[in-house]
Amino acid sequence: MSNGISHLRTRCKAALAALLLLPFTVAPAFAQQTQQAVRGWPENWQMGMSKGVTPVAERLDSFHDMLLVIITGITIFVLALMLYTLFRFRKSANPVPSKVTHNTLVEILWTVVPVVILVVIAIPSFRLMYYMDKAKQPEMTVKITGHQWYWSYELPDQKVDEFASNMVPEDKLQPEHIRKLSVDYPLIVPVDTDITLLITGADVIHSWLLPQAGVQRHAVPGRTQETWMRITAPGTYYGQCNQICGTLHAYMPIEVHAVPKEQFQRWVQAIASSTAKDKLRDANEKVLGLNYKWMDAPKTADAASAR
Ligand SMILES: [Cu+2]
């Protein structure tokens, strides 16, 4: 018997030691994961949001986490209250129902506590809305226009003329492409740069959504919406138009390449000095190593119907 107890004790000690050591064994695995390049698209069975790569996205993520704690607390509290009431005031235990109609203290509490919770939520929320409104000291501007059904980009500071960014059609997909997310001419931006985004629509209302940058603005014809982003990790990030804008709404994805500043400069210079017919394609091929051979292949009969 005593042998059994001592065996149990040893097991308990081992379990406790494992529990205490858990942070030290799990943390390096997480650290390794974060050191890898940030993935710019969602994954099957992903839990939570994709990793934010701008100061705005990081703040949005922590605001979301705060709200999750609050809403979990409220839900558990209300559920507990309901279960308690169902049990405590059931018919068998309470043959004569109470006739109480007022309780001043409870009424004050159920008014004041929700107001306090809303104020606690509103303060960081408004602060964040003002933070994402404008870049304080923008270093460059990108003009984004939504069309039926593609996006176009213009970089006026770098004298990069407006160019269309169309989805890669399904029959032209290459191994490096992601179906319904990859485009022919992505938007190229430098990392660690405060970029003002000016967003408008050419025909109907679209919406430019790049989740990992924490950017979502409606592209409204006749209006210019402003926001900003500062991508801190080089990578390729994807988004989609998220305003139902017509038949091919699902076929106007957003692809943004955040590249090191020096590479961005070389890209800008390559466009300026290119003598090719398609200067942008030339610069994308030479500086970014993008492959455009798929564009030269003759169009198949169902290419149009695939779109
Ligand atoms: Cu759209």
218 CA to centre of ligand 1 in angstroms? 9
88 CA to centre of ligand 1 in angstroms? 54
CB-facing half-sphere around the CA of 270: CA atoms within 13 A: 18
209 CA to centre of ligand 1 in angstroms? 10
Position 247 scores a pLDDT of 94
The residue with greater pLDDT, 302 or 150, is 150
Q: Please give the CATH superfamily to which domain 140-292 belongs.
A: Cupredoxins -  blue copper proteins (2.60.40.420)
Position 21 scores a pLDDT of 52
302 CA to centre of ligand 1 in angstroms? 23
- Tell me the C-alpha distance between 24 and 79, whole Å: 36
How would residue 275 be classed by pLDDT, with cut points 50, 70 and 90? Answer: very high
- Tell me the C-alpha distance between 128 and 56, whole Å: 8
184 CA to centre of ligand 1 in angstroms? 17
Position 83 scores a pLDDT of 97
48 CA to centre of ligand 1 in angstroms? 25
Q: Across the chain, what does the average pLDDT equal? A: 88
53 CA to centre of ligand 1 in angstroms? 24
151 CA to centre of ligand 1 in angstroms? 8
109 CA to centre of ligand 1 in angstroms? 46
Position 42 scores a pLDDT of 81
Least-confidence region, from 94-98, 145-149, 185-189, 301-305: 301-305
Mean pLDDT of 5-12: 56
41 CA to centre of ligand 1 in angstroms? 19
**Residue ranges covered by each domain of the chain:** 55-94+101-131, 140-292
CB-based contacts of 261, cutoff 8 Å, min separation 6? 190, 191, 192, 193
The residue with greater pLDDT, 27 or 153, is 153
Segment 225-262, tens digit of pLDDT: 999 999 999 999 999 999 999 999 999 999 999 999 99
158 CA to centre of ligand 1 in angstroms? 26
Mean pLDDT of 278-287: 94
Position 100 scores a pLDDT of 87
Position 9 scores a pLDDT of 60
Cis bond before residue 267 (omega within 30° of 0): no
Mean pLDDT of 268-296: 93
- Kindly report the pTM of this predicted structure: 0.78
Residue carrying structure tokens 């979301």: 64
242 CA to centre of ligand 1 in angstroms? 7
Segment 9-40, tens digit of pLDDT: 656 555 555 555 544 444 444 444 444 467 78
50 CA to centre of ligand 1 in angstroms? 22
87 CA to centre of ligand 1 in angstroms? 52
8 CA to centre of ligand 1 in angstroms? 64
205 CA to centre of ligand 1 in angstroms? 7
pLDDT at position 144 over 70: yes
Segment 154-210, tens digit of pLDDT: 999 999 999 999 999 999 999 999 999 999 999 999 999 999 999 999 999 999 999
| Burial class, 111, CB count within 10 angstroms (exposed 0-12 / middle 13-18 / buried 19+) | exposed
Distances (CA, A) of 109 to 42, 75, 79, 99, 114: 43, 17, 18, 21, 8
- Tell me the C-alpha distance between 254 and 241, whole Å: 7
Segment 40-57, tens digit of pLDDT: 888 888 888 889 999 999
Q: Give me 126's structure tokens.
A: 């408004």
207 CA to centre of ligand 1 in angstroms? 6
How would residue 286 be classed by pLDDT, with cut points 50, 70 and 90? Answer: very high
- Tell me the C-alpha distance between 307 and 305, whole Å: 5
| Burial class, 22, CB count within 10 angstroms (exposed 0-12 / middle 13-18 / buried 19+) | exposed
Dihedral sign for Cα atoms in the order 116, 120, 121, 123: positive
pLDDT at position 217 over 80: yes
244 CA to centre of ligand 1 in angstroms? 6
169 CA to centre of ligand 1 in angstroms? 17
276 CA to centre of ligand 1 in angstroms? 31
Q: Which of 145, 135, 142 is nearest to 56 (CA)?
A: 135
202 CA to centre of ligand 1 in angstroms? 10
Segment 53-112, tens digit of pLDDT: 999 999 999 999 999 999 999 999 999 999 999 999 999 988 898 888 899 999 999 999
Mean pLDDT of 261-282: 95
Position 306 scores a pLDDT of 47
Q: Angle at CA 268, nearest 5°, toward 262 and 271?
A: 140
